[in-house]
């Protein structure tokens, strides 16, 4: 008997509900299961309930910023893939995110082909239904 494939369960952390919805729609259309969080506290609570197989993390979050969330994720789950999403085009932000342990950085607005490429490289392909 074949084992059932493990789903790719991703967590989107972004304070903008419209961006969360767009990213969720894109990921679900690629076959991923998606949860969302609007801030760091929601994200940490979501991770306690289910450990995602990857995280899409906005760099600029209210109260606790994305860099602090990334550092906490790295402390708790050092091998969990994390992709930072930011509207800040300053290359220093991308370098800072990579130095802090991000697997990749995407600039908003995220171009669809680049998004697919980064997501598949960092999180792997979801199983076929």
Q: Which domains does the chain have, with CATH numbers?
A: 9-123 (3.40.50.2300)
Percent of the chain scored above 90 by pLDDT? 64
Taking only the tens place, the pLDDT of each residue in 9-63 is: 999 999 999 999 999 999 999 999 999 999 999 998 999 888 899 999 998 888 8
Banded model confidence at residue 69, pLDDT cuts 50, 70, 90: very high
User: What's the pLDDT at 88?
Assistant: 85
How long, in residues, is the chain? 129
Q: Is the dihedral of CA 24, 28, 31, 32 positive or negative?
A: positive
Banded model confidence at residue 6, pLDDT cuts 50, 70, 90: low
Q: Distances from the Cα of 33 to the Cαs of 7, 48, 71, 92, in angstroms?
A: 7, 17, 24, 32
């Amino acid at each position: 008997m074949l084992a059932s494939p493990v789903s790719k369960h991703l967590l989107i952390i972004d304070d903008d509900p419209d961006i969360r919805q767009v990213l969720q729609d894109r990921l679900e259309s690629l076959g991923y299961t998606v949860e969302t969080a609007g801030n760091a506290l929601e994200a940490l609570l979501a991770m306690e309930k289910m450990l995602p197989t990857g995280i899409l993390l906005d760099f600029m979050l209210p109260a606790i910023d994305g860099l602090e969330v990334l550092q906490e994720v790295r402390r708790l789950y050092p091998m969990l893939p994390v992709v930072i999403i930011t509207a800040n085009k300053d290359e220093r932000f991308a370098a800072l995110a990579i130095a802090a342990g991000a697997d990749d950085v995407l600039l908003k607005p995220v171009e669809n082909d680049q998004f697919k490429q980064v997501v598949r490289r960092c999180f792997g392909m979801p199983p076929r239904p």
